Chain A
Amino acid sequence: MSQMSYFKKKGDPYIFAAGMGLIISLGMVAWILIVILAKGLGFFWPRDLVEVTLDDGKKYLGEMWEKRDDYDRHETQLKNGNRDLYGIDFVWMDDANIVSSEYPEGAFTFERMEYGNFYGYIVAVNVENQAVTAVDGDIVSKAYDAFELAHQTHDEVVETQQEITDLTEPLTRLQREISLLEIDRADRTEEGRALLERYRKEANEMEQAIAEEYLALNSELEKLVIKDRSIFLSVRTTDGRNKDLQLSHVVRFFAPNQMGIFEKSWHYMGKLWEFVADDPREANTEGGVFPAIFGTVMMVILMSIAVVPFGVMAAIYLNEYAKQGVVTRFIRLSVNNLAGVPSIVFGVFGLGFFIYFVGGSIDQLLFSDKLPEPTLGTGGILWASLTLALLTLPVVVVATEEGLLAVPRANKEGALALGATRWQMIRKVVLPNAMPGILTGLILAISRGAGEVAPLMITGVVKLAPTLALDATFPFLHLDRKFMHLGFHIYDVGFQSPNVEAAKPMVYSTALLLILIVILLNIVAIYVRNNLRKRYKSSTF
């Protein structure tokens, strides 16, 4: 009994409880990370193709995906792809019905631009009306040659199309102007009629001027397209159905059962790169997430640009200029409470204030010719960033104040005693010393802001933004554009995509990427902070 109370006095049970608490929370974080890492990174690994024969004679070829045990039943899920033929990408089978499973050497995985993966065997390679079948020797290397040729041809097609687009762009834009005038019934006024007449004449002249070049390009394009379509593989599925795969629509193809570990690793790196650097395909369920990465990072940067000056100014005034009393205490309390407001409330505020009020007013003042089509009066990356800046403002204010308080009083008074004005003292003594605190605030703001999705959903995030907010057309930075975001991408792909089974691994990969980006942004900020710390440590006294 007395021993027990001694333990209690010493605090051992509490230390034990605290330790357990730490272990549990660390364990949960580690568990989440491991799940995301395993599922997110495993997705890109080329899996072997298994050919399963069931006792009713049905044959399936595909990737082993998942196993499930339900009492005495064991089931296997196979991804057998070929969505255009079978309708669904996956099939469940009872292990008891499986007669044999083999790993055929000649089975190929074809990653396609449309309809997901195709699994099957190559029967013949067709290049411009010449077919090569397996009888004629090494069909696989022929297939790879044809693949190269197809993609070369396809690139030329895209190039020619681009040339045509560039050639016709001024004309297209002018014709757009004309049709907009027609919609507005501009011909009802004398002025409008004259303008229309002039535009039409201009358009006619433009058309005459480019006609020759246009026709030449077009006939070139026609040839290329026919060539592109004539390069295809004849393939056969494991249940004996034939299909022609146009090779320019195949992203890559490979025989995983023949690949060694190095080949697979190489392939893996390629897939990883595609994921990070490419545009999404098939309504975001395949391909890469580059626009979403770009949108996330850009939004965080814009947010930081907005939040840091305001937060720092507010903190400096509160700490250095304002008379400490009930009012400042009340303001501090409010700021702290602001940090606890649910993010969706900020979203609604952003929608009402920034988009409808500020954006709507700007539209009426500056872009009234485009109304009712809004320019800034609709969600966009600027408004989303500002909303998030509001959301993270308390974090920055609090952290900056901590930093300001940490500046030794002696330094400040020393500066004042030497005749510096208050502002000089703040600029030369306080701010440099408080810099690490300010950057800590920024780091916290970035962590919070990058992971926030709810307020973005009503202030400018979209499923697919056709253009980035930063590009080569004037004025380069398009703050009014809507954007894609990794967090929203996760929500959208996970909850909204048809064929959710095939899209699920994308969710894990995207989540992993989001975490990595937040970590990366933080590391950069921490690195900068540490450098600053070192600099000011040596320079003070």
Chain B
Amino acid sequence: MFSIINKRILAVLVAVMFLVQTGVSQVEVDSRIPKYEKTSGISGNANSIGSDTMNNLMTLWLEGFRKYYPLVNIQIEGKGSSTAPPALIEGTAQFGPMSREMKSKEIDAFEKKYGFKPTAIRTSLDALAIFAHKDNPLNCLTMEQADAIFSKTRKRGYEKDIVTWGDAGLDGEWANQPIRTFGRNSASGTYGFFKGKVLKKGDYKNEVKEQPGSASVVQGITEDKFAIGYSGIGYITSGVKVLELAAKAGADCYGGSYENVVSKKYPLARYLNLNIVNSPTKPLDPLVKEFLKYVLSYEGQEIVAKDGYLPLPYDVVMEELEKLN
């Protein structure tokens, strides 16, 4: 019934209007992903509380979304993925961006409050990278080695602790240099993801320097030639390089390119999710729904690529759009 207006012209026009100039950017968004179509009647306020990794993404999406709906205000807070579930449960946020899956404890708490499970919408792909200084001659690490560098428990079972670059297989001036490790603070989803995926839930070494932001991990490595650290691949700068990873000793090494991530050859990929409260008995708030539709549109996915993350493959987008209906 909201009608004459949007059906006739708006859809086509707006699709033309805000098409970002398509350059040969790093990763191409699948052109089959539907373009965003404006509807009418979208205004109001909302809050987003959660991941700091997704902070920039949310901000950029909002900038784009407000071009269609100037009357929308969304306030974005990004203090870490762990802040998302309480905010959704308290009702202080409508969007809970998280750079990891919700833990079963968090889902239980959610279910206790609402009586149904939270809906997680996959918005983009992020590959976690292990960064080293740009002059570091090392090209590839196995997951066992990575575990032995960052963990004191070595749950992957590498035979010895890796303390110096010599232990990791380098010679010359590097052999005797101790490895200095950088990581994220424990509120961040990146910390949790790396711990689960690489350390197999083991414990980090005490020497890992915990940084307040992904960018400061990269900064730390840039300033220290003998450093290594993990953070989102989108944070790469000219001062660091991404190490290729091998699933186990003797396996092939793969870099964090889009093809390798989508084909799951690169082991450290994850989805960045937007969690929402989607009651089975009530219709979804159109503001929330349209925002998610925008995120899952061609335009929204282009923003993902622009911010240094990886856009979703076509079939994942369609699956997620299905969840909204």
**Which residues in A have some Cβ–Cβ distance to B below 8 Å?**
70, 77, 84-85, 87-92, 114-115, 161-162, 165, 168-169, 171-176, 178-180, 182-185, 200, 203-204, 207, 211, 214-215, 218-219, 221-222, 225-226, 241, 243-246, 249, 282-284, 371-374, 377-379, 457, 462-467, 482, 491-492, 494-501, 503
A372 to B75, Cβ gap below 8 A?
no
**Bound-complex Cα distance A70 to B238 (A):** 17
**Interface residue B56 (Cβ < 8 Å from any Cβ of A):** yes
Residue of B92, B216, B308 near A499 (CB, 8 A) is B308
When distances are taken between beta carbons in the complex, the residues of chain A under 8 Å from B44 are 176, 180
- Nearest first, the 6 A-B pairs at minimum CB distance are A175-B41, A372-B91, A495-B213, A90-B238, A500-B215, A84-B23
B79 to A457, Cβ gap below 8 A?
yes
A463 to B55, Cβ gap below 8 A?
yes
A495 to B215, Cβ gap below 8 A?
yes
B71 to A173, Cβ gap below 8 A?
yes
When distances are taken between beta carbons in the complex, the residues of chain B under 8 Å from A169 are 43, 71
When distances are taken between beta carbons in the complex, the residues of chain B under 8 Å from A171 are 40-41
User: How far, in Å, is B308 (CB) from chain A's closest CB?
Assistant: 5
A462 to B75, Cβ gap below 8 A?
yes
A464 to B41, Cβ gap below 8 A?
no
**Bound-complex Cα distance A492 to B45 (A):** 23
B53-72: CB near A (< 8 Å → 1, else 0) gives 00110011011001000110
**Interface residue B33 (Cβ < 8 Å from any Cβ of A):** no
When distances are taken between beta carbons in the complex, the residues of chain B under 8 Å from A377 are 92
**Bound-complex Cα distance A161 to B17 (A):** 11
User: How far, in Å, is B126 (CB) from chain A's closest CB?
Assistant: 11
A207 to B215, Cβ gap below 8 A?
no
**Interface residue B307 (Cβ < 8 Å from any Cβ of A):** yes
Residue of A172, A176, A200, A379 near B1 (CB, 8 A) is A200
Q: A183-B284, A495-B216 are in contact. List 15 more A-B contacts (CB 8 A).
A: A85-B25, A88-B237, A92-B239, A168-B40, A173-B71, A176-B287, A178-B41, A180-B285, A218-B9, A373-B45, A373-B47, A494-B215, A496-B215, A498-B215, A498-B307
A225 to B237, Cβ gap below 8 A?
no
Give me 28 A-to-B residue pairs in the complex whose CB atoms sit less than 8 angstroms apart, sorted by A's number.
A70-B135, A84-B23, A84-B24, A84-B306, A90-B237, A162-B70, A172-B41, A175-B40, A175-B41, A179-B41, A179-B283, A183-B283, A184-B282, A200-B1, A225-B17, A226-B16, A243-B23, A283-B60, A372-B91, A373-B92, A463-B78, A464-B76, A494-B216, A496-B56, A497-B56, A498-B56, A498-B307, A501-B238
Please name the residue on chain B nearest to A86 by beta carbon: B26
A378 to B24, Cβ gap below 8 A?
no
B215 to A85, Cβ gap below 8 A?
no
Please name the residue on chain B nearest to A375 by beta carbon: B45
Residue of A226, A244, A284, A495 near B21 (CB, 8 A) is A244
Please name the residue on chain A nearest to B211 by beta carbon: A495
When distances are taken between beta carbons in the complex, the residues of chain B under 8 Å from A491 are 212
User: Known: A498-B234, A500-B219. Contact between A465 and B75, CB under 8 A?
Assistant: yes
**Interface residue B249 (Cβ < 8 Å from any Cβ of A):** no
A462 to B213, Cβ gap below 8 A?
no
**Bound-complex Cα distance A484 to B285 (A):** 27
B218 to A249, Cβ gap below 8 A?
no
**Bound-complex Cα distance A372 to B94 (A):** 10
User: Known: A207-B3, A495-B215, A496-B215. Contact between A215 and B26, CB under 8 A?
Assistant: no
Please name the residue on chain B nearest to A162 by beta carbon: B70
**Interface residue B286 (Cβ < 8 Å from any Cβ of A):** yes
Please name the residue on chain B nearest to A281 by beta carbon: B63
**Interface residue B195 (Cβ < 8 Å from any Cβ of A):** no
**Bound-complex Cα distance A174 to B52 (A):** 35
**Interface residue B74 (Cβ < 8 Å from any Cβ of A):** yes
When distances are taken between beta carbons in the complex, the residues of chain A under 8 Å from B74 are 466
When distances are taken between beta carbons in the complex, the residues of chain A under 8 Å from B77 are 379, 462-463, 482
A172 to B71, Cβ gap below 8 A?
yes
**Interface residue B208 (Cβ < 8 Å from any Cβ of A):** no
**Bound-complex Cα distance A378 to B46 (A):** 12
B23 to A246, Cβ gap below 8 A?
no
A218 to B75, Cβ gap below 8 A?
no
A496 to B78, Cβ gap below 8 A?
yes
Please name the residue on chain B nearest to A285 by beta carbon: B56
When distances are taken between beta carbons in the complex, the residues of chain B under 8 Å from A503 are 215
**Bound-complex Cα distance A182 to B9 (A):** 26
Please name the residue on chain B nearest to A82 by beta carbon: B23
A467 to B16, Cβ gap below 8 A?
no
User: Known: A168-B40, A200-B1, A374-B92. Contact between A466 and B238, CB under 8 A?
Assistant: no
When distances are taken between beta carbons in the complex, the residues of chain B under 8 Å from A90 are 237-239
B214 to A175, Cβ gap below 8 A?
no
When distances are taken between beta carbons in the complex, the residues of chain A under 8 Å from B285 are 179-180, 183
User: How far, in Å, is B46 (CB) from chain A's closest CB?
Assistant: 8
B14-57: CB near A (< 8 Å → 1, else 0) gives 00110011011110000000000000111111010000100110
When distances are taken between beta carbons in the complex, the residues of chain B under 8 Å from A175 are 2, 40-41
Residue of B40, B52, B214, B306 near A115 (CB, 8 A) is B306
Residue of B13, B21, B66, B235 near A466 (CB, 8 A) is B66
**Interface residue B236 (Cβ < 8 Å from any Cβ of A):** yes
B73 to A172, Cβ gap below 8 A?
no
When distances are taken between beta carbons in the complex, the residues of chain A under 8 Å from B315 are none
**Interface residue B134 (Cβ < 8 Å from any Cβ of A):** yes
**Interface residue B90 (Cβ < 8 Å from any Cβ of A):** yes
When distances are taken between beta carbons in the complex, the residues of chain B under 8 Å from A180 are 44, 285
B80-122: CB near A (< 8 Å → 1, else 0) gives 0000000000111010000000000000000000000000000
When distances are taken between beta carbons in the complex, the residues of chain A under 8 Å from B66 are 466
Residue of A70, A495, A498 near B308 (CB, 8 A) is A498
When distances are taken between beta carbons in the complex, the residues of chain B under 8 Å from A215 are 8-9
Q: B residues 216-245 with Cβ under 8 Å of A? A: 216, 218-219, 225, 232, 234-239
**Interface residue B10 (Cβ < 8 Å from any Cβ of A):** yes
B273-301: CB near A (< 8 Å → 1, else 0) gives 00000000111111100000000000000
User: How far, in Å, is B259 (CB) from chain A's closest CB?
Assistant: 15
User: How far, in Å, is B249 (CB) from chain A's closest CB?
Assistant: 31
User: Known: A88-B237, A92-B238, A114-B306. Contact between A372 and B215, CB under 8 A?
Assistant: no
B20 to A114, Cβ gap below 8 A?
yes
**Bound-complex Cα distance A172 to B44 (A):** 10
**Bound-complex Cα distance A215 to B10 (A):** 10
User: How far, in Å, is B318 (CB) from chain A's closest CB?
Assistant: 25
**Bound-complex Cα distance A464 to B286 (A):** 23
Residue of A172, A211, A372, A494 near B42 (CB, 8 A) is A172
Residue of A84, A221, A498 near B235 (CB, 8 A) is A498
When distances are taken between beta carbons in the complex, the residues of chain B under 8 Å from A87 are 26, 236
**Bound-complex Cα distance A88 to B8 (A):** 42
**Interface residue B4 (Cβ < 8 Å from any Cβ of A):** yes
User: Known: A165-B71, A172-B40, A243-B23. Contact between A378 and B13, CB under 8 A?
Assistant: no
User: How far, in Å, is B78 (CB) from chain A's closest CB?
Assistant: 6
